[in-house]
Amino acid sequence: MAREGFYIIRCPRCGRYTYASTHQKTRLCVYCQKIFKINPLDAVFVDDAKTARARVKFYQTGKHYKDYMDAVEKSRDKIKSLIPDTNLNLEQLQDSKQITQPVSMRRRELERILYQRARKEPLDLEILEQECLRAGVSWEWVVQQIESLIRSGHLISPKPWLIQLVTEKIALADKQLTEISSTKLAQLLGTVLRDSPVPLSQDELATQLEKKGVSSAGIEEALNLLRNQGYVLKTSTGTYRWTGD
């Protein structure tokens, strides 16, 4: 961008708010460990960090989603004027097309990158993405692995855009997680919640999905679908319990 500033953004998984410099393109949510791309047109633009912190605190302390979305709308024209035109021609698009590696090669390449770049000092997520792109490793697959390694304690995130390896060995999933429709995901979540003796958090549900070989992408939408149909209740502690028959 031609002008420095800060984006106020909302995590697509847990819905909590945070902020990031306009130089950042990737963010790790400190609340639910979701790694996501920052879409400037879905963010609120402010000039300085002090204002960003104050606005995040305001959005975070109550039901201010409508206020946030109104601010997003007001920011869009300003953000569009600041974002340079980056239209790619066909040749550039073809050159940037990523080659998908077999799972065994993806595992070796990601392990190599983490051991070499994230062991002695924190590694920026954007640098990790660039390294993976050069190695032909799917970024979507890497995101799933990184989120899982953070939950298992193999990685830490000293800042929302940094990761660091803190164990000698890491265990990467052997298979690509399967993407399914929101309806099928809602059915699967309903089964997990119905069979659970206690309410489950969104992170616990995501872990259950990974065990079943299913991607947790879209889990918030599926949970909202179940809640709207009266099958699931979100408790005061932020967990979910089955209320259907």
Q: Which pLDDT tens digit goes with each residue over 5-44?
A: 899 998 887 888 999 988 888 888 888 888 888 888 889 9
Three-class SS of 114-183: HHHHCCCCCEEHHHHHHHHHHHCCCHHHHHHHHHHHHHCCCEECCCCCEEEECCCCCCCCCCCCECCCHH
Task: Write out the CATH class of domain 182-242.
Answer: mainly alpha
Parts of the chain belonging to CATH 1.10.10.10: 182-242
Q: Return the CATH fold of 92-165.
A: Arc Repressor Mutant, subunit A (1.10.10)
Q: Which pLDDT tens digit goes with each residue over 198-216?
A: 999 888 888 888 777 776 6
Report which residue type is found at 91. E
CATH architecture group of domain 6-82: Alpha-Beta Complex (3.90)
Q: For the whole model, what pTM was predicted?
A: 0.53
Parts of the chain belonging to CATH 3.90.820: 6-82
Residues of the chain with pLDDT below 50 are: 1-2, 85-100
Name 26's bridge partners.
Answer: 37
